[in-house]
């Protein structure tokens, strides 16, 4: 049987546009904690950089998830990209800690809007028979952005001013906006036929989709562990005297790019459970290798493990969440998925930001890896229940 086309012009433009959105955003992430520290922030306030952003993202997603049940995709995508661009250019004005933290909350609101809409628009242009593969490739735009951009941001932060870093980030945001404006979006018929008056808004109902709650819960636990790396890896490199911390991101990007297509096809052919178990385990090992790193080689090795594990894990969980969800609820499901990421990273940054005042950063990585173990236990138990549920059916047949 002939495969449905995946590599359409719209899919490519949307994927590349989303890459530039994540590049623009993620290159600021590792530089914001040292920047706010330089203007007088305390350890707790540094933790709030991540926490307030995540709170904003989580707060906005139920509203945009509800809007995606009855609105066309294109205007929502462009509004999100424009809001991100505007808030990015405000950062150089934030010389006061309180103002900076207020900008982070607003940025989170815009980020929650944009990531929910972009992910839903991508699902709409991917054939259902190739959802795992398509979201795997689309997820590369997220993973590569999350991996390459921080090293670029760190480099620019070291060689130029924070203001120049923001301007470069803004240029990437403009490119993203132009690419996304040229996409031919495919809003599902059921959404186009639905009117706002036909729906009743429930904040909880638009925050959580019952069909895909389990992979979203796994995503939350995994990012509670991963959040310590996002918040503290630059400071960790300074503590250990590791001068090539970008190797973590570089090796991560290369291996994620190589493993992602394989993981996507595995998902389509065999389902998510075995793949999720393997990738969580590899990610857990990567966290411990990172915690013991005192050399560039160990940093690179940790990046390799994260590229194979975490790089395949996140798009697999997203595909799993969306595959459980009706077409008209995909906006809610995407919002729930990304909220799980942001909430996990935000809570992690806040809790471990306080703990970082008392223990070494490498120890933080080890402590936070407990959340990976919890996720691993959850998916193993899920796999056993699924297998037991199938056995009676197989016996009857």
What per-residue confidence (pLDDT) applies to 397?
42
What per-residue confidence (pLDDT) applies to 323?
83
Give tens-digit pLDDT for 112-141.
899 889 988 988 888 877 877 888 788 778
Residue whose structure tokens are 């919890």 = 374
R_g of the chain, CA atoms, integer Å? 20
From first to last of the 397 residues of the chain, give the pLDDT tens digit. Answer: 567 888 999 999 999 999 999 899 888 877 887 788 788 777 677 777 777 887 888 888 888 888 988 999 999 999 999 999 999 988 888 778 888 888 889 999 999 899 889 988 988 888 877 877 888 788 778 777 776 787 788 788 878 888 899 999 999 999 999 999 999 998 888 888 888 888 888 887 778 888 888 999 999 999 999 988 877 887 888 888 888 887 888 888 888 888 877 887 888 888 888 899 999 999 999 999 999 999 999 999 999 999 899 988 988 898 888 888 887 788 888 888 888 888 888 788 778 878 888 889 999 999 999 999 999 999 999 888 877 776 655 444 4
d(CA 317, CA 215): 6
Q: How many CB atoms lie within 10 A of CB 171?
A: 12
**C-alpha dihedral sign at 121, 306, 294, 360:** positive
Distances (CA, A) of 325 to 74, 123, 221, 319: 21, 11, 21, 10
Distances (CA, A) of 256 to 62, 166, 263, 313: 30, 27, 10, 10
What per-residue confidence (pLDDT) applies to 1?
56
DSSP string, 68-112: TTTS-HHHHHHHHHHHHHHHHHHGGG--SHHHHHHHHHHHHHHHH
DSSP string, 101-129: HHHHHHHHHHHHHHHHHHHHHHHHHS-GG
Q: From start to end of the chain, where are the E strands? A: none
Reported pTM: 0.76
d(CA 258, CA 260): 6
Boundaries of every domain in the chain: 9-189+204-396
Q: How many CB atoms lie within 10 A of CB 197?
A: 7
User: Is residue 337 within 8 Å of residue 219, measured between CB atoms?
Assistant: yes
What per-residue confidence (pLDDT) applies to 396?
44
- 9-189+204-396: in CATH 1.20.1250.20: yes
């Amino acid at each position: 049987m002939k495969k449905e086309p995946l590599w359409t012009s719209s899919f490519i433009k949307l994927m590349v546009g989303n890459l530039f959105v994540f590049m623009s955003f993620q290159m600021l992430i590792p530089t914001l904690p040292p920047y706010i520290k330089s203007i007088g922030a305390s350890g707790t306030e540094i933790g709030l950089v991540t926490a307030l952003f995540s709170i904003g993202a989580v707060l906005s997603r139920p509203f945009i998830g509800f809007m995606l049940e009855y609105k066309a995709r294109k205007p929502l995508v462009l509004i999100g990209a424009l809001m991100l661009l505007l808030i990015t250019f405000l950062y150089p004005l934030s010389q006061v800690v309180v103002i900076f933290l207020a900008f982070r909350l607003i940025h989170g609101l815009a980020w929650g809007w944009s990531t929910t809409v972009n992910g839903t628009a991508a699902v709409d242009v991917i054939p259902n028979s190739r959802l795992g593969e398509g979201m795997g490739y689309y997820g590369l735009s997220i993973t590569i952005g999350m991996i390459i951009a921080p090293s670029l941001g760190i480099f620019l932060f070291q060689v130029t001013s924070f203001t120049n870093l923001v301007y470069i980030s803004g240029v990437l945001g403009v490119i993203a906006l132009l690419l996304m404006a040229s996409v031919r979006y495919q809003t599902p018929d059921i959404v186009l036929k639905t009117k706002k008056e036909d729906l009743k808004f429930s904040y909880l109902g638009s925050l959580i989709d019952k069909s895909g709650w389990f992979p979203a819960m796994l995503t939350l636990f995994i990012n509670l562990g991963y959040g310590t790396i996002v918040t503290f890896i630059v400071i960790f490199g300074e503590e250990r005297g590791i001068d090539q911390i970008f190797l973590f991101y570089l090796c991560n990007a290369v291996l994620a790019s190589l493993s992602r297509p394989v993981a996507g096809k595995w998902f389509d052919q065999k389902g998510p459970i075995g793949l999720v178990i393997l990738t969580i385990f590899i990610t857990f090992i990567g966290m411990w290798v990172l915690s013991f790193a005192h050399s560039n080689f160990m940093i690179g090795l940790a990046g390799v493990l994260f590229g194979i594990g975490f790089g395949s894990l996140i798009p697999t969980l997203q595909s799993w969440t969306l595959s459980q969800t009706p077409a008209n609820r995909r906006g809610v499901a995407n919002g729930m998925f990304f909220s799980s990421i942001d909430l996990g990273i935000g809570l992690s940054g806040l809790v471990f930001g306080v703990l970082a005042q008392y223990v070494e950063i490498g120890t933080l990585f080890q402590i936070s890896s407990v959340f990976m173990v919890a996720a691993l236990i959850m998916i193993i138990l899920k796999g056993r229940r699924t297998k037991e549920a199938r056995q009676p059916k197989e016996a009857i047949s």
